[in-house]
A and B are shown apart, each in its own frame.
Chain A
Amino acid sequence: MSVLATQVGALAQRSVTRTVRQPASAIPPLVFPVALLLVNSGGLKASTLLPGFPTDSFLAFALAVPFIQGALFSTMNAGTDLARDIQTGFFSRLSLTPMRGSALLAGQLAGIVVLGVLQAVFYIAVGLLLGVRFASGPGGIALLLVYAALVSLGFGALGSFLALRTGSGESIQGLFPVLFVFLFISSMNTPRNLIAVDWFRTLATLNPVSYLIECVRGLIITGWDTEALALGFGIGAILAVVSLAAASWALGQRMERT
């Protein structure tokens, strides 16, 4: 195995282990989105009576949301962990070793992607247990896991960029409400064509999170919706590429300062 792969593997294992060992980091991304899913699907079941609503199961409609909500938690986890490494001096000590900077970032993100996929498996299992039938079948479920990896990579890289720029866990935590705005002002609870308030529909249409949700929703309730898949994967890929480039740049700057 190459030196880089060994370094990445070691740091990825560290990333996963420390998340799993901290219940405060590991449990909320699993429990909170599912709790919100259950209360929303119970409370908003009547929405399925609206003319034009795409399914008669609000649970199936809303199951897409935990995937993206879980990915937002990835941003917080990745950012907070990296910021802690900077604050505690681990990052500085690491920079004195032969460890490559890119290995640090790749290891951290590999850990986040593994956790993101595990979260997705959990949400899929919850959906299946509660009676949701995936319109796209087993192939769609497999694609959903690939998508979860891509989105976790994108949001994880975004969290890493923010951590490398600010070097403060508190600043990362302070961004949580901002990320939540993107989630709430989206098509998370209503299809965009059924949003009656014009300004809200416009914001939801401009909000990339709407398309990330609709990609998952398409696989669950529609089947193989090519447009939704192209938009979701396209936005996920752009997010990943831009965030990775930004995080690599910020890493270079941080290494110079260190």
Chain B
Amino acid sequence: MRVWSVASGVAWRTVKNVVTTPSLLLPTLMFPLFFFTAFAGGLSQVQNVPGFDFPDGYTAFQFVFVLLQSAAFGGVFTGFGVARDFEGGFARRLLLASPNRTGIVLGYALAAMIRWGITATLLTTVALVFGMRVGGGPVDVLGLYTLALLVNVCGFMWAAGIAMRLRTIQAGPLMQMPVFLLLFISPVYVPLTLLTGWMHAAARLNPVSYLLEAGRSLISGGPTHVALAFGLALLLGVVFTTWALRGLRAAEAAG
């Protein structure tokens, strides 16, 4: 119970901060919409490339990427908040006051999920308004959003681990850049089979590629590699949660 009281308090404060501060809320909401508009609108001709065989059209194809991207960055942006709280001294007071410090990490993670939930709702609404076709049934769609939620947890735990070790907002690029690169060195614009050269080799080694391909198969109603994708997401979730909790211990040790 002590974990929950700490977690709910931290989550409430973090969500309230984000929702009431336009400079924090707007980038979270606007960037995924920019990407979705630019990719689904500007690149739709890519679906006419020979070998492009995604059945539900380019809008749905890109929606899955932007959904997973928004999930990852929703987590990373919440990690920025952790770093800011450490820089400003708030997190130090929080460490002193909390009867269970694991609840602090859990609280921030809950806030990251809620924050992403707001973005995902807006993004989904815009995509449906713009005529996105969804071939998958309710279970497939639930699977897609669950996969994205796991990505959100991974993104947050990665960023929180950095934030609690370095305890400065200047660590922002270190939290952001690897996630950005992992996301973009994957089949963002065309299916994996249409990538060539170094990009194909790198994308095949990148776990994000399998999350993306599974997500796209779910939205089109023909699930493939779903077990592999969930397995990878859960594994990464465990690794990054361990990374974040060890970061918490490092922050405790630093005082």
How many chain-B residues does the 8 Å CB contact rule pick out? 37
> B255 contacts the other chain (Cβ, under 8 Å)?
no
Residues from chain A with a CB closer than 8 A to the CB of B26 are: 177
Check if A42 sits within 8 Å of B199, measured CB to CB. Answer: yes
If A42-B195, A43-B195, A177-B34 touch, whether A185 touches B49 (CB-CB below 8 Å) is no
Closest A residue to B58 by CB, please name it. A196
Bound CA–CA A35/B41 (angstroms): 23
Which of A46, A170, A194 lies at the interface centre, i.e. has the most chain B CB atoms within 10 A of its CB?
A: A46
Q: Please choose the segment from A142-150, A197-205, A218-226 that sits at the chain B interface, where 4 or more of its residues have CB less than 8 A away.
A: A197-205
Check if B197 sits within 8 Å of A204, measured CB to CB. Answer: no
Residues from chain A with a CB closer than 8 A to the CB of B199 are: 39, 42-43, 45
Bound CA–CA A45/B189 (angstroms): 10
Q: Please choose the segment from B94-102, B117-125, B133-141, B180-188 that sits at the chain A interface, where 4 or more of its residues have CB less than 8 A away.
A: B180-188
Contact residues of A: prevailing secondary structure: helix
> A184 contacts the other chain (Cβ, under 8 Å)?
yes
> B38 contacts the other chain (Cβ, under 8 Å)?
yes
Residues from 79 to 125 in A contacting B, C-beta threshold 8 Å:
none
Check if A184 sits within 8 Å of B188, measured CB to CB. Answer: no
Check if B184 sits within 8 Å of A195, measured CB to CB. Answer: no
Q: Mark B26-43, 1 if CB is under 8 A from A, else 0.
A: 110011001101101111
Check if A190 sits within 8 Å of B195, measured CB to CB. Answer: no
Residues from 68 to 101 in B contacting A, C-beta threshold 8 Å:
none
If A43-B199, A49-B50, A170-B23 touch, whether A184 touches B37 (CB-CB below 8 Å) is yes
Bound CA–CA A189/B188 (angstroms): 13
Closest A residue to B30 by CB, please name it. A177
Cβ contact of B49, chosen from A47, A180, A204, cutoff 8 A: A47
Residues from chain A with a CB closer than 8 A to the CB of B20 are: none
Residues from chain A with a CB closer than 8 A to the CB of B198 are: 42
Residues from chain B with a CB closer than 8 A to the CB of A204 are: 42
CB distance from A20 to the nearest CB of B (A): 18
Check if A185 sits within 8 Å of B181, measured CB to CB. Answer: no
Cβ contact of B46, chosen from A44, A170, A184, cutoff 8 A: A44
If A42-B195, A43-B188, A184-B38 touch, whether A177 touches B27 (CB-CB below 8 Å) is yes
Contact residues of B: prevailing secondary structure: helix
Cβ contact of B42, chosen from A24, A36, A45, A190, cutoff 8 A: A190
Residues from chain B with a CB closer than 8 A to the CB of A40 are: 189
Cβ contact of B194, chosen from A35, A36, A46, cutoff 8 A: A46
Bound CA–CA A81/B197 (angstroms): 41
Bound CA–CA A172/B185 (angstroms): 30
Q: Mark A129-173, 1 if CB is under 8 A from B, else 0.
A: 000000000000000000000000000000000000000001000
CB distance from A190 to the nearest CB of B (A): 6
Residues from chain B with a CB closer than 8 A to the CB of A190 are: 42-43, 45
If A49-B50, A195-B42 touch, whether A43 touches B37 (CB-CB below 8 Å) is no
Closest B residue to A42 by CB, please name it. B199
Closest A residue to B191 by CB, please name it. A46
Residues from 124 to 154 in B contacting A, C-beta threshold 8 Å:
none
Q: Mark B3-28, 1 if CB is under 8 A from A, else 0.
A: 00000000000000000000100110
CB distance from B50 to the nearest CB of A (A): 6
Q: Mark A181-217, 1 if CB is under 8 A from B, else 0.
A: 1001100111000111101100010000000000000
B residues whose Cβ falls under 8 Å from a Cβ of A: 23, 26-27, 30-31, 34-35, 37-38, 40-46, 48-52, 170, 173, 181, 184-185, 187-190, 194-199, 202
29 contacts between A and B (CB under 8 A): A24-B173, A36-B184, A39-B185, A39-B188, A39-B199, A42-B195, A42-B197, A42-B202, A43-B189, A43-B195, A45-B195, A45-B199, A46-B51, A46-B195, A50-B48, A177-B27, A184-B34, A184-B35, A184-B42, A185-B37, A185-B41, A188-B42, A189-B42, A190-B42, A194-B45, A195-B41, A195-B44, A196-B45, A196-B48
